[in-house]
């Protein structure tokens, strides 16, 4: 997947999503300040998506409808959504990956029907996702930085390595439940 990087980091009850702002069409950068992370379901769920803009919007809207139908049950909504994504004639052709999280859960949702919970406190998607994830895992192991600080630092590192990732970074945070 070219043209985006989204990273989710969990630490000490805090979950941070960071995404770059670059949008490319072929070999041309057409936008530097896109927002690729969005709040869903009454500001309780964070979602980040890597894929084309039209596909991303369609998938986000469908996922939010699943959240509404399951009264915000993130795991159930993700599984139901992944089933639809895989079996629906139109949706299964959409090329994207999603990261979704609430206070308790962090998931990767894919169009092939997979719903995965990362073993570590970090997961990245998109063209720079592996760079950002590797940086975040190192920072999780060797620093006491917050999830937000790690997510932002890891995205900056990815932006120095991946030509499809820029350093205009958006960070959104789910604070620990009280």
Strands (DSSP E) along 20-121, which ranges? 23-25, 28-31, 37-40, 45-51, 96-101, 106-110, 115-116
| 168 CB neighbour count, 10 Å cutoff | 15
Which H or E run includes 18? strand 14-19
Is residue 5 part of the annotated active site? The answer reads: no
SS3 sequence of 110-165: ECCCCEECCCCCEEEEECCHHHHHHHHHHHHHHCCCCHHHHHHHHHHHHHHHCCCC
Catalytic residue among 4, 5, 15, 165: 4
Residue found by looking up tokens 């820029």 in the block: 166
Strands (DSSP E) along 54-117, which ranges? 96-101, 106-110, 115-116
Active site residues: 4
């Amino acid at each position: 997947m070219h043209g985006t990087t989204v990273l989710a980091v969990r630490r000490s009850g805090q979950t941070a999503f960071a995404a770059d702002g670059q949008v490319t069409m072929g070999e041309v950068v057409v936008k530097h300040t896109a927002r690729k992370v969005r709040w869903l379901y009454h500001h309780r769920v964070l979602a980040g998506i890597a894929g084309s803009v039209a596909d991303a919007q369609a998938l986000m809207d469908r996922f939010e409808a699943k959240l509404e139908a399951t009264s915000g049950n993130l795991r159930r909504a993700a599984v139901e959504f992944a089933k639809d994504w895989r079996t629906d004639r139109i949706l299964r052709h959409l090329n994207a990956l999603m990261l979704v999280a609430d206070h308790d859960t962090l998931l990767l949702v894919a169009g092939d029907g997979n719903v995965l919970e990362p073993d570590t406190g970090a997961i990245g998607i998109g063209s720079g996702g592996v760079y950002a994830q590797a940086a975040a895992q190192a920072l999780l192991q060797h620093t006491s930085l917050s999830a937000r600080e790690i997510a932002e630092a890891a995205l900056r590192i990815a932006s120095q390595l991946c030509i499809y990732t820029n350093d205009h970074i958006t960070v959104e945070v789910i604070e620990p439940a009280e």
